[in-house]
Amino acid sequence: MIHDTLYLASQSPRRRELLDQIGVRHTLLLAGADEDAEALEVVLSGETPDDYVQRVCALKAEAALRRRELRALPDNPILCADTTVCRDGEILGKPADADEAARMLASLAGRSHRVLTAVTVASTLGLHHALSISEVTFRPLRDDEIARYVASGEPLGKAGAYGIQGRAAEFVERIAGSYSGIMGLPLFETAALLRQAQLRF
């Protein structure tokens, strides 16, 4: 069955913009007040960043499928994604506060780190997954630059305490991989999954 629209199970405005960029019609399918979405993102002991991001993304997809069923919605495909920043194998999640954001940014300054974005598309044809891996290199950062960036509020709510599409773009010396993947939705991989799910766009 061919579908014309997609459910996006994500609050990220950047993911919405990226879907708009490639002409994918979508509506939001967000967690209700009775769901503990944060609980899905707990890191398991000994879990690698690659395993973590793919597991969390698959859990988000399963939760979204239950949500669609409970709300008796049409069986359009569902898109879920999860992005993780890691440095030397350590997962850098969303900073709890400004101090943690500053510490994360200082640890990324003048060196390279990996950005992993997992994507899952759930449809009547099953679950299909993809993983985008990119490497980002920051130039050295002064303490006052970090403080100004943290004061902007942009690092809060973002894995690794930065958004490449915002002010932090000036910190990025080079990237190897997918720019859209670093933003939170790798378009090459996502488009391939959506075609597998028979979405027309």
pLDDT at 139 (0 to 100): 98
Is 34 catalytic? The answer is no
pLDDT at 127 (0 to 100): 95
87-95 contacts, C-beta under 8 A, 24 or more apart = 87/111, 87/113, 87/114, 89/48, 89/49, 90/49, 91/43, 91/49, 91/52, 92/159, 92/160, 92/161, 93/41, 93/43, 93/159, 94/156, 94/157, 94/158, 94/159, 94/161, 95/155, 95/156, 95/158, 95/161
For the chain, 201 residues long, the average pLDDT of each consecutive 10-residue run is 95 96 97 82 92 96 95 97 95 95 98 98 95 98 97 94 95 98 98 96 95
Residue tagged active-site, from 82, 97, 99, 144 = 82
pLDDT at 38 (0 to 100): 76
The CATH classification of domain 6-196, taken from the options 1.10.3720.10, 3.40.50.1820, 3.90.950.10, 3.40.50.300: 3.90.950.10
